[in-house]
Amino acid sequence: MQTIFIIAWRNIWRNPKRSLVMVAAITAGLWGGIFAASLSFGLLDQRFQATIEQHISHIQVHHPSFIQDPVIEYRIAEWEALRDALSADPDISAFSGRTIINGMLASAHLTKGINIIGTDPGAENSTTGLEQNLIEGSYFEDTTGHPVLIGRQLAGKTKLEVGSRLVLTFQDMNNELVAGAFRVAGIFQTANTLFDENNVYVRQSDLDDYIGEETVFNEVAMIVSDFDLIGTVGERYRNMFPGLTVRTWAEVSPELSYMNEMAGVMLMIVLGIILFALAFGLVNTMLMSVFERTQELGILMAVGMKRKLVFSMIMMETSFLTLLGALGGLLSGVATMAFFGQKGIDLARVGGDALNEFGFPSVVYPTLEPSFFLMLILLVALTAILSSVFPSLKALRLQPAEAVREQL
């Protein structure tokens, strides 16, 4: 078998130009597939991380009726017990209780419907890192007035700047309209421009002045210390507080969960299509090699070389070409991914703002899971085997006497 191995290796270099072209084609195909996959996966992974960390969090808790009808009266009555349980839970790294109100924002230039999020600044920053998203102004540092944080998109549409005054109108617990004057303390920007355009943050203590009661909690967002424990922790709090609706991020945003599940499958399908196309080139190359060596193969079989060895030799030649191209594609793909994974690819000039509209970042850092490369190796091996079968069978069907006469 070692002799067949050596002969097969030498045979692929008898026509170096043809072999190199095939290896280059496989390398280019796999490089393009790996880079495209890493770019897509990086884009989806960053959207996932940004959406989870900045907006959804790992677990959310609401009054059961609040999800269908988000009005302030559907409050979390068990707030104190829930707060104490979360504070003592080692699996919870941060949590934030929020007051969620639908209201109107009025500036000198525009009146717009928005969501008012009342929160404790320290707890919110620990949960979502809101302060890190500030691009202008300060993080609720005004202790005398009523500071508000608004998104960059909203600031642009309403022509509000840091220090500008605005009026927020909303309903209190008695369904009475109340209006309050606030001043822009800071402007934030997240990866989701739709969120930035439709949400403002205020201090819960400032909302209490208008609601007319003690602090109302409509939503509690949690961050779990270990991502793998989200399901377990969520189930635990469902059992502890059966009167509340406890949802994990996958339940809050099922489309995000679906995208994550389908991303890997779709990327493997794309690579499968690339390898399928390359397989035709491999089959064509090996068939040409078999036809050119018809007399040679006939002589080998005539002098006693077993057909299974001829079959193995053609399979090895095909496998060598495939593996050489796969190795080149993997190395170039990983190198390209590593380079841009550190530097990032700025898509702002080619539609980055449009990506932000759907919650995708404009700067993408390509990345891939290790399991992706394992599946890729299996696909390459399968391609090599399938591509070698037809040329090997063609060689196997040769009749030694006819093969020798055909070339004389």
pLDDT tens track for 41-92:
888 777 777 778 778 899 999 999 998 888 888 999 999 999 999 999 999 9
Which pLDDT does position 353 carry in this prediction?
57
Cα separation, 173 vs 209, whole angstroms: 12
In sequence order, what are the beta bridge partners of 219?
A: 62, 98
Q: Measured between alpha carbons, how far is 75 from 323 in angstroms, rounded to an integer?
A: 62
Task: Evaluate if residue 402 carries a pLDDT over 70.
Answer: no
Nearest in space to 342 (alpha carbons), one of 45, 44, 42: 42
Which are the contacts of 225, defined by CB distance < 8 A and separation ≥ 6?
A: 90, 91, 92, 93
pLDDT for 401: 61
Question: Is residue 359 over pLDDT 60?
Answer: no
pLDDT value, residue 208: 84
Token duo for residue 70: 């988000």
Give the residue extent of every domain in the chain: 2-52+256-407, 64-243
Cα separation, 330 vs 204, in Å, equals 53
What is the model's pTM?
0.71
Amino acid, single-letter form, for residue 164: S
Tokens 């280059």 correspond to what residue? 24
**Listed ranges 110-114, 272-276, 358-362; the one with the highest mean pLDDT:** 110-114
